[in-house]
A and B are shown apart, each in its own frame.
Chain A
Amino acid sequence: MLKDVTIGQYYPTGSIIHKLDPRTKILFTTAFVVILFFINNLWGYLAVFGLLAIIILMSKIPVGYILRGIKGLVLIILLTVILNLFMTPGTIIASIGPFNITMEGAKIATFMALRLIFLVIGTSVMTLTTSPIDLTDGMEWSMRFIPFVRRFAHELAMMMSIALRFIPTLMEETDRIMKAQKARGANFETGNIISRAKNLIPILVPLFISAFRRADELATAMEARCYRGGENRTRMKQLVFAGRDVAAFVVMFVMVVGLLATTMINIPLLFPV
């Protein structure tokens, strides 16, 4: 199940989209998400579809791989569609037993579903094309613009990066501990929920102890390497906007204006305006 969610799993292809500055991609994605909520007719969604299709083609990521990311969200999308379809009052166009489907309901349900799908695809294109370390750097930069968070921008980014560094290590560790306890006759496969939960103790306790020990040693090692928070710290890799980022900003501007313009179109497509 967890494996099906493709959000956040970097997929390197070396495309021009991958090479964009992470800040550009964060800004672009933010603009995209915001504008998505202004779109009020299918012309707009058609334009979004076209835009996403071009970006995905440019990113060279297999379409199937991206679509798998939606699989985990099918349930949520279905639920949204069903609720909206039957719960919205208005002109009845069909009835199933005691439930009525209205024109307004059909419209909202379609829009909500499209919005969710495009939202997930749009954001996963960002995480798929940005390495975790670039993403962290980009986040650190963009957090500077959010009040309250600004003060902890460096610390939050450092925590994210350390978490990314230690995820594989802790995964291996979990596997090893599990095997060691199995070798001592522990049984994780059978029993009811309560006994299964109890069986997790021999895994969780050593895992926590190990995580704390690692954290402690890492903190000492960081101090020994003169770490003292974000103040006066420099970075080897400075984020630099390149020509392609300027181009991306132009595209972004066109996207915002263009998508807003679609809201003015008065020609009905499928649904009356």
Chain B
Amino acid sequence: MINETKKRMIDVQNIQFIYPHANEEENVIALEGVDFHIDKGEFVGIIGHNGSGKSTLSKLLNAIIFPTKGDVLVNGMNTKDREHLWDIRQTAGMVFQNPDNQLVATIVEEDVAFGPENLGVPPLEIRERVDRALATVEMQAYAHQKPHQLSGGQKQRIAIAGILAMEPECIIFDEPTAMLDPSGRREVMATIKKLNRDKNMTVIHITHYMSEIIDADRIIVLDKGKIVMEGTPEKIFKNVLALKEIGLDVPQMTELAFELRKEGIDIRDNILSIEEMVAALCQ
């Protein structure tokens, strides 16, 4: 039992969240009965259409908002516990959708330093952390540039470096690729996957792009504020019709496998990548 809790990065316990409205009858229930946990080192994808409660959930994990019912524990700390507020935000960093609206400083390295400066880290150590974080996202060459001269993908990598410099254990990505072009998306996804693989960072990745999470450890599907599916990508994506029903996509290869099966071709229904499809058709 003790081991079990030590492993837990995030524990969401049967939460509800209501956006209050002046007129109580018009209160919006954004999340209801949401209950899951995420272990240290896991890569978890969260999908759902706009308005399904994904963004609300991400803000709850970072103690920006608090559940109306139930509890959220980050590394064993309850987000409602004011005392731990800053520890929680330091432990579970967050990267947002709009790359422009999360960079604070006029110089890249000053921006990366913003988090540790807030934490009161000594100047020399901040310097080290900033250099390390910029190296991890491969942006050292841009340390003295102005953020507005960078591409969208580069700005997001700076935002990630800014979180890394706070030395968190977990990063929540709230649709970090939604506003990027394909090459920006590739850059950012490569960085996120590297953090999870090489630095054992716990990653929660919220997205609309199914191809970004085909190699996640686990996927959570939200619809109308509730968890409707949870499991490995293979298990989730084979429910082609159910996903389409709630306004989501499946990876193109999974859809093709589904269509071929409908025509009576005998192949697996949990194919995710081109390689798997080639293997299945060429056997």
Contacts and interface: CB of A to CB of B under 8 A. Distances in A.
Interface stretch (A144-152, A192-200, A228-236): A228-236
A234 B101 contact: no
A218 B104 contact: yes
A164, A223, A232, A236 interface centre (most CB from chain B within 10 Å): A236
A168 B103 CA distance: 13
A224 B126 contact: no
Given A224-B64, A225-B89, A226-B90, A234 B104 contact: no
B114 A227 contact: yes
B109 to A, nearest CB: 8
Given A161-B105, A225-B163, A168 B148 contact: yes
A220 B103 CA distance: 11
A165 B147 contact: yes
A225 B126 CA distance: 14
A125 B101 CA distance: 33
A217 B126 contact: no
Contacts of B90: 226
B101 A214 contact: yes
B196 interface: no
A266 interface: no
A234 B120 contact: yes
A224 B130 CA distance: 18
Interface in B55-99: 59, 62, 64, 86, 89-90, 93-94, 96, 98
Interface in A159-200: 161-162, 164-165, 168-169, 172
Contacts, number: 98
A238 B121 CA distance: 13
A222 interface: yes
B173 to A, nearest CB: 12
A228 to B, nearest CB: 7
Interface string A231-268: 01111111000000000000000000000000000000
B122 interface: yes
B260 to A, nearest CB: 44
Given A234-B117, A234-B120, A238-B123, A226 B166 contact: yes
Contact of A217 (B86, B102, B146, B163): B102
A58 interface: no
Nearest to A221: B102
A132 interface: yes
A234 B64 contact: no
B118 A217 contact: no
A218 B106 contact: no
Contact of B121 (A132, A234, A237): A234
Interface in B110-164: 110, 113-123, 126-127, 130, 146-148, 162-163
B96 A227 contact: no
A73 interface: no
A133 interface: yes
B118 A226 contact: yes
Given A168-B148, A218-B101, A236 B96 contact: no
Given A227-B118, A232-B120, A221 B96 contact: yes
Given A217-B98, A220-B64, A225-B162, A235 B106 contact: no
A90 B64 CA distance: 71
A241 to B, nearest CB: 16
Contacts of A132: 106
Contacts of B119: 226
B100 interface: yes
A259 to B, nearest CB: 35
A220 B96 contact: yes
B220 interface: no
A236 B123 CA distance: 4
17 contacts: A133-B105, A161-B105, A165-B105, A217-B98, A218-B101, A218-B102, A221-B104, A222-B114, A223-B89, A224-B64, A224-B93, A225-B166, A226-B89, A234-B123, A235-B117, A236-B109, A237-B110
Given A169-B148, A225-B104, 16 more contacts: A133-B107, A161-B105, A165-B105, A168-B148, A217-B102, A224-B89, A224-B94, A225-B163, A226-B90, A227-B114, A234-B120, A234-B121, A234-B122, A235-B117, A236-B126, A237-B123
Interface of A: 132-133, 161-162, 164-165, 168-169, 172, 213-214, 217-218, 220-228, 232-238
